[in-house]
Amino acid sequence: MIGGRQLNSWSPSFWARHLGRAPYWTLGVVNQHISVMTPTGLSTVHVAEHQKLTFEIGSIWARMSAPELGILTPLPGLSKRALSEYQSCVASQVKEYEEALDLQPVLDALLGWWTGFHAETGEGWANRRWLPEEFIVEWESRLTQLRAMYPLSAAQRRLLEDRADVAQRPALQTLDGAWSVRSQVAAQNDALVDVELIDERAFFDRIEKTPLTEEQARAVICFDNRVQLVASAGSGKTSTMVAKAGWTIRKNLAKADEILLLAFNKSAAAELGERCDRRLANANISAAGLRATTFHAFGLKVIGEATGAKPRLAAGLDTDNGVPLLADVVRALRRSSAEFAAKWALFQNVLGVPMTGDAEPEPDAWDPQKRRSGYRDLNLEVMKSAGERAIANWLIKSGVEFDYERPYEVNVADAQHSQYRPDFFYPAAGVYHEHWALVAGQAEPPGFEGYLQSSAWKKGVHAANGTVLIETAARDLANGSLFESLERQLRARGIEPDFDPDRAVPGTPLLTDREMCNLFRTFLAHAKSNRLGDRDLRARVATGRNGAQDLRETLFLDLFDEVRREWDRRLQDANEVDFEDMLNHATDLVEAGRWTSPYRVVLVDEFQDASHSRARLVQALVSRPDHFLFAVGDDWQSIYRFAGSDISAMTRFEATFGRGHVLRLERTFRSSQQLSTLAGDFVMKNPSQLKKTVRSERSCVAPLALALVDSDAGVTGAIDERLRELATVAADGSRRTVKVLGRYRYEQELVPRTRYPGLDVSFQTVHSSKGLEADHVIIPGLSRGGFPSTKEDDPLLRLALPEGDEFPHAEERRLLYVALTRARETVLLIARNGRESEFVTELLGDGVVTLLGDAASGEAPEPCPACGKGLMVLRQGKYGPFLACNRFPACTSKRRIAS
| 336 marked as binding residue | no
What is the rounded distance in angstroms from the CA atom of residue 755 to the CA atom of residue 760? 9
| 472 marked as binding residue | no
What is the rounded distance in angstroms from the CA atom of residue 735 to the CA atom of residue 75? 110
What is the rounded distance in angstroms from the CA atom of residue 737 to the CA atom of residue 756? 11
Count of residues making up the chain: 899
| 463 marked as binding residue | no
Residue 70 phi, psi dihedral angles, 5° rounding: 90, 5
Give pairs for 110-116: CB < 8 Å, separation 24+: 110/146, 110/171, 110/172, 110/174, 110/175, 111/168, 111/171, 113/139, 113/142, 113/143, 113/146, 113/171, 113/174, 114/170, 114/171, 114/174, 115/171
| 237 marked as binding residue | yes
CB 829 within 8 A of CB 709: no
At position 706, the amino acid (one-letter code) is L
Q: Which value, in Å, is the radius of gyration of the alpha carbons in the chain? A: 40
CB 511 within 8 A of CB 348: yes
| 633 marked as binding residue | no
| 322 marked as binding residue | no
> 247 vs 108, 220, 255, 287, 709, CA distance in Å?
40, 7, 11, 11, 53
CB 737 within 8 A of CB 610: no
> 691 vs 186, 232, 353, CA distance in Å?
23, 10, 33
CB 610 within 8 A of CB 604: yes
Beta bridge mates, 65? 54
What is the rounded distance in angstroms from the CA atom of residue 705 to the CA atom of residue 707? 7
Residue in 710, 743, 676, 700 with CA at minimum distance from that of residue 850: 700
Cβ-based neighbours of 204, under 8 Å, separated by 6 or more: 197, 211, 212, 216, 217, 220, 243
CB 453 within 8 A of CB 418: no
| 365 marked as binding residue | no
At position 532, the amino acid (one-letter code) is L
Residue in 115, 167, 124, 183 with CA at minimum distance from that of residue 146: 115
| 52 marked as binding residue | no
CB 507 within 8 A of CB 379: yes
CB 645 within 8 A of CB 616: no
What is the rounded distance in angstroms from the CA atom of residue 796 to the CA atom of residue 856? 42
> 717 vs 47, 568, 723, CA distance in Å?
102, 49, 10
**What is the distance in angstroms between the CA of the first residue and the CA of the last residue of the chain?**
96
CA angle 434, 794, 691 (to 5 degrees): 135
CB 128 within 8 A of CB 196: yes
What is the rounded distance in angstroms from the CA atom of residue 539 to the CA atom of residue 554? 11
CB 397 within 8 A of CB 503: yes
Write out the binding residues: 231-238
Write out the binding residues for ATP: 231-238
